[in-house]
Amino acid sequence: MKKVLLIFFLGLALFSCEDREPEPIIVPSWLKPRLTELESSGECYGCRVQRWTYNEEYFYHLYCDYWSCSNCEVYHNNGTLVEWGVTVDPVDFEANKYRPTIVWECGDEL
C-alpha cells in the first residue's frame, strides 16, 4: 500500500509542476504621469499601486496612506477611472477581486 501511495504522490508531483515564467510586473504607461505627479509633489510617502484581477481584467488601485478615501483612484486596465455603481459594482468587486500584486510604491523607479 505504501508503494502505491508513493507512486501516486510522485506522479502527482510530476504532473502538477509546470515550468512557468512569472508575468512581468510593469507600471502601465498611462499611469506613469500620475505617479510622477505624486513623486514631484513630495507627498507620495505611503503611496502604492496594487493590481487586482476582477472579471478577467486587471484593475489598478492607487492609494496613499494619508488619503481619507480608500477607493478614490481605481482604474480599468485601459486607464479609465472606475465609476463605482456604473461600470463596476463595488460590492461584487470587493468580494471577487483576486491576485493582488504591488506594481509600484513611492520611491520605486518608473
pLDDT digits (tens, 9 = 90+) for 55-103: 999 999 999 999 988 899 999 999 999 999 999 999 999 999 999 999 9
Structural domain boundaries in the chain: 28-105
Q: How far apart are CA 39 and CA 35, in angstroms?
A: 6
Q: How far apart are CA 67 and CA 86, in angstroms?
A: 23
| pLDDT tens sequence across 20-35 | 666 778 899 999 999 9
